Structures are given as C-alpha cells and as structure tokens.
Amino acid sequence: MYGILAHMNTWRAKAEAVSQSILIRSLSLLIVIMAALMLSSCRDEESSMPTYTVAMEATFPPYEFYQGTEIVGIDVDILNEIGRRNNVQFKLEDMAFDSIITAVQTGKVDLVASGLTVTEDRKRQVDFTRSYSGARQVIIVPEGSPIKGPEDLANVRVGVQHGSSGDTHVTEHICSNPERFTNGALAISAMSAGKLDAVVLDNAPAENHVAGSRGLIILPTPVVEEKYAMALQKGNTELLNMINASLDAMEADGTLAAIIEKRMRENTPEMNQEADTAFGRLMDDFHVDFVKNERWRYLAEGLLVTVEIALTAAAMGIMLGFLIAVVRSTADLTGRLKVADMFCRLYLTVVRGTPVVVQLLIIYFVIFGSVDISKVLVAIVAFGLNSAAYVAEIIRSGIMSVDRGQMEAGRSLGLGYGTTMRSVILPQAFKNVLPALGNEFIVLLKETSICGYIALQDLTKGGDIIRSQTYDAFLPLLMVALIYLSMVILLSHLLKKLELRLKKNER
C-alpha cells in the first residue's frame, strides 16, 4: 500500500507539475497579451481631436487602395481635407464590402466612404451625404470576346462584387445568378484564369484593373450610371451636416475636383515587361507579389496577428474549457453543481451548434456593437469562447476515461474530492487527451483565417490584399498555404515532444 502511495506521489507530482506549468504559462500569456491590447487601444483614444471611424473596402482604386501598408485614394484625400477643415480626424477600417452597410447601421463605424453608390434600397437603411462623384458600371471582357454589350450578358458567366450596386443591378436586370466575389479584383483574376466571361464593375477600379492585367478590355457601353456618396447611421445629422458643408465648400473652391483629377490621372499602373520563359514569368510574378513595394510585409504582419490571436485564444480556450470540463464531470460523478452544469451544457450546445464565423460576426457587430474595442481582442474572445467548448468536451472525455478506481483509491487514502480530482484524475486525463488538444489547437490556428470578415489583417487577409493588387491568385495563395502548413508542422512536432516528455515522466 505504501509502495503504491509513494509511486503515485512521485508520478502525481511530475504530471501535476507539467499540467500546471502549461496552465500557468497559458494564463500568463493571456494576461500579458490582453493587457498589451488594452493599453494599445487606450493609447488610440488619447488624442484630443474628435475621431470618427470610417469603413471602406480598400481594393477599390483610385478611391481606396493600399500603398505599402497605408490606405490611400480619393475617399481618403477627401476625408483628410474634411478633417483638416473641421479639426476632426478619421480612423480608417478596411472591411469586407458586404459588411459595410451593416457596420454603419449598427453604429460599429460612424461613416462609410467607399466609392459607395447611392441606391433606393440603401437609402432605407442609412442616410447619404450629398454625392461627390459620378460613376458607371462597366463590362470588362477578355480581348476578342463575342460579348459586345449588356444585351449579351444574359447567358454567360458574369462576375460581380458581392453586395455591390453592380451585383444588385446585374441580378435584377441582366442575369439572375451572377458569380459573386468579395471584391472586383478577385473577379478579374477569376476571369484572367478563364473562369468567367465578363465582369461588371465600377468604371474607375475597372480601368485600374484592366491596366494591371493582360488581355482585358472595357466595353464602351456602360450598364448603368451611378453617383457616389458617403453613408451614415440614420439620424446622425451632426456629422452629416458637417460633411455636407465641407463637400459644398470643397466643390466651390475646386479642392474636390483637384483631388479627383489627380488620383484619376495616376489610376493606370505601369505594366511589367513580360518574360519569355515560364520560369522567368514565375520569377517576375514572385518579384511583383512579394518583393515589389515590400508586399511581403502584408504576409509578415498578418502572420503576427494570426499567431497572436491563435495563441491567446488557445490559452483562453484551455482555461475556460478546463473549468467547464471540471464542472460537467463533477456533476456527472457526484451529482453536485447541477445549475452550473446546466449553464455549461447550454453553452456547449450553442457554441458547437453554430458556425464560428457567425459567432465572430455576432460578437463583433452585436455584443461589442457600440464599444470601440480592438478587433484583435474581439477575435481572441470569439475564438477563445469557441475553442473552450471543444476543449471542454475533450478534457471531459479524458476525465471520464480515467478508471473510476483512481477516484476511489484517492478518496480511500483520505484525499478530498477536489484534491483527488486535481492531483490524480486531471493529470492523467490531461496526458490522455493531449493529442486531441493538439488537434484542436491546429484547427483553431487555421480557423482564424476567417478574421478578414471583421477586417482584421491576418495572414489570409494579407494574401488577399496582395492578390487584389497584383491580380495573381497563384503565388499569394500558395505562399499563404505554405506558411500555415509550416506552422502546423512545427506545432505537431512540439506536441509530439511534449507527449514524449509526459510518457517519460510516467516511467
């Protein structure tokens, strides 16, 4: 009996030490990152100038697009000018175009300035400023295409930007089921890859895209004429009046026309010389995708965001999951904690029963709707809460798989329920479920690739930005995939080592 007890004690101490050190490290990591995020979001607010947040989708040259890691363009110039005249500043948020109206409607941002077309449908949801620019939806086709105008679009594969006025017009008047892309640039690369016959897009970005890709032309007959304006939450008259007054003044003194004219003039990017060999072309593409304009930075910075979110969310998931698992199994084993168990079950049902992207959007737009909170923090909370549900079930299955005799042995040696659970059951459970936990972390890491939905520039979004600038789908996607793959391989390797260490301790 004493022999068993002594053996159990040393093993217990080692296993306990490993699992506790993991928990403590997770906890400290979580605290450090959360504190850093809080501090950084406080610093943003320090500036005394009134600050308004503006949503835009920054793959829309020359209205808004990336130059290096900065968003520039007509809308940005106009906002800067309005800011200068009124002593206010605007904070830009690049987000998916189809989230933009929701963002301003729910008060998540104060303003939309995104080459936004005034439409009757949108007027029901938001207030528009006066219009500051005219535009038209045009048709882009490959050179030599038989498509000559809107009348030829009915039975061909047409690409549009999801949620755009072009999308609505094409769907209602031309062909009921166009192919919808998150932005026009992606539709253009799909057409360059032979997957579409035509793309309907706003004229100014269309001109930029056509200049940047080979073998595409814009048809002379437009599909529809439009006007651009900024949009605000209904009833936000103070900001509306300020912007309208500034736009009027800027029109009167010629600033508006000068901004638009300058950006339009620069709107056709120069094309690189085509290399002769396939390898030469690949090297050229590599240069344009990653080296030119330091585009590799989108991937490097995105990678940091991805790692930060995944690590912190995993730490949060493990701690919360651990707690839930203990509550659930205590209820199962002893019949205590019934109410807490009920809440935990409800939580698990809801979290595991809904897609993580929907949870992320609900947390961002609804729960933190009117709070100005760092998006990284939102993502950490969303992925942490999501992961906790899976971790809880993994750990619970581990606890339940530990032989019941262990609990009885612990109790008969005079240890209380809590001590037996903490010192005997949990360390064994932890060791048993380590592979499953590792797997959950790998899933979590890859799941963070949906962060672009709330306009976070993670690794995947970094690749998207490059694609939208260079119209090359192949290399940016390949590179993003390779980076995720390397992280997963590294992680699997570390987990294997941890497992081996635990096994060794057992002996």
Nearest alpha-carbon partner for 135 in 13, 227, 261, 260: 227
Write the interaction track for ligand GLN spanning residues 43-82; mark x where CB under 6 A is met and - where it is not.
--------------x--x----------------------
Residues 372 and 103: beta-carbon distance below 8 Å: no
Least CB distance to ligand GLN at residue 137 (A)? 8
Least CB distance to ligand GLN at residue 23 (A)? 46
The type of residue at 325 is A
Nearest alpha-carbon partner for 380 in 440, 321, 311, 441: 311
Instruction: Report how far residue 446's alpha carbon sits from residue 356's, in angstroms, rounded to the nearest whole number.
Output: 12
Q: Under the criterion CB under 6 A, does residue 26 sit at the interface with ligand GLN?
A: no
Query: Torsion angle, CA of 233/239/242/243, rounded to 10 degrees?
Result: -40
Q: Under the criterion CB under 6 A, does residue 165 sit at the interface with ligand GLN?
A: yes
Instruction: Report how far residue 444's alpha carbon sits from residue 430's, in angstroms, rounded to the nearest whole number.
Output: 19
Residue 140 β-bridge partners: 199, 218
Residue closer to ligand GLN (CB basis): 135 or 305:
135
Run of H or E including 120: helix 120-125
Least CB distance to ligand GLN at residue 305 (A)? 23
Q: Under the criterion CB under 6 A, does residue 208 sit at the interface with ligand GLN?
A: no
Binding part of the chain for ligand GLN, among 157-165, 270-278, 401-409, 463-471 by CB under 6 A, reads 157-165
Q: Under the criterion CB under 6 A, does residue 306 sit at the interface with ligand GLN?
A: no
Query: What residues between 98 and 117 interact with ligand GLN by CB under 6 A?
Result: 114-117
Write the interaction track for ligand GLN spanning residues 376-405; mark x where CB under 6 A is met and - where it is not.
------------------------------
Residue closer to ligand GLN (CB basis): 116 or 407:
116
The type of residue at 425 is I
**Residue count at the site for ligand GLN (CB under 6 A)?**
11
Instruction: Report how far residue 200's alpha carbon sits from residue 167's, in angstroms, rounded to the nearest whole number.
Output: 8
The type of residue at 83 is G
Among 94, 127, 202, 341, binds ligand GLN (CB under 6 A): 202
Nearest alpha-carbon partner for 452 in 64, 14, 99: 99
Least CB distance to ligand GLN at residue 442 (A)? 35
Q: Under the criterion CB under 6 A, does residue 161 sit at the interface with ligand GLN?
A: yes
Q: Under the criterion CB under 6 A, does residue 164 sit at the interface with ligand GLN?
A: yes
Run of H or E including 228: strand 224-228
> Site residues (CB under 6 A) for ligand GLN?
57, 60, 97, 114-117, 161, 164-165, 202
